[in-house]
Amino acid sequence: MARPMSDVRRLVVVAALGWACCAASPSDPARDDTIFFGMNVGTGVASVDQADLSGRWRGGLVYDAAFGFGLSDQWAAGLELATWQPLNLNGDPTHVHQFGVRAEYALSGPDGWIAASSVGLALGDGRATKRLGGGGLVQLGHRWALGRWVAIAVEGGVHGAVYKDGTALAPFLAVQLRFYGQRPRD
């Protein structure tokens, strides 16, 4: 059985590779003038292994917010803030946060399957200390447009972080609500 640290390192490498692939120039050079703001809320389990916490798995809430813009009909990029926290905060004030760059690919345009990843700065908030490190997030989901300005999606993924003295790994399932607008013309 692999140790949690090696699992998180693999996750960060996969997220970085996904981001690099998504950040490459899209095959369709046509400019997409959409901007978006999306919010996820869901549930997941996490194993946070730090000096002041055991690596046991516990249930929690997952929520994030993303803001970005379309690069083409299939590619989008933006910024994302993601958080996991335990369901019961009594005696367990653990939070895992990540702020990073998000890249996503819609396999069949606005409606359908989506793959996304983000890499960035991770903050682990434990019992007595805060930890700074690197993190990654990998997501796969399905999005449905509810008209021109709103979409809903179901996403599953894994959030991972590596710190100097600890790791965090949090698989999750979430529902996303996304709002669209138009970028100002040049």
* pLDDT attached to residue 47: 79
Above pLDDT 90, what percent of the chain? Answer: 27
* Rounded-to-integer distance, Cα 181 and Cα 25, Å: 23
5-20 per-position pLDDT tens digit: 454 455 444 444 444 4
* pLDDT attached to residue 96: 78
- Point out the least confidently predicted range of 21-30, 45-54, 72-81, 155-164: 21-30
Q: CATH assignment of 4-24+34-182, given 3.55.50.30, 1.10.645.10, 2.170.140.10, 2.40.160.20?
A: 2.40.160.20
Q: Where are the domains of the chain?
A: 4-24+34-182
> What average pLDDT does the segment 145-171 reach?
86
- Strands (DSSP E) found in 20-149: 34-50, 57-70, 75-86, 95-106, 112-125, 130-145
The residue ranking higher by pLDDT, 3 or 30, is 3
The residue ranking higher by pLDDT, 60 or 142, is 142
Q: State the pLDDT confidence band at 124, using cuts at 50, 70 and 90.
A: confident
Rounded (10°) CA dihedral 53, 164, 22, 112: 0
44-95 per-position pLDDT tens digit: 888 777 665 666 777 888 888 999 998 888 899 999 998 888 776 555 556 7
The residue ranking higher by pLDDT, 180 or 124, is 180
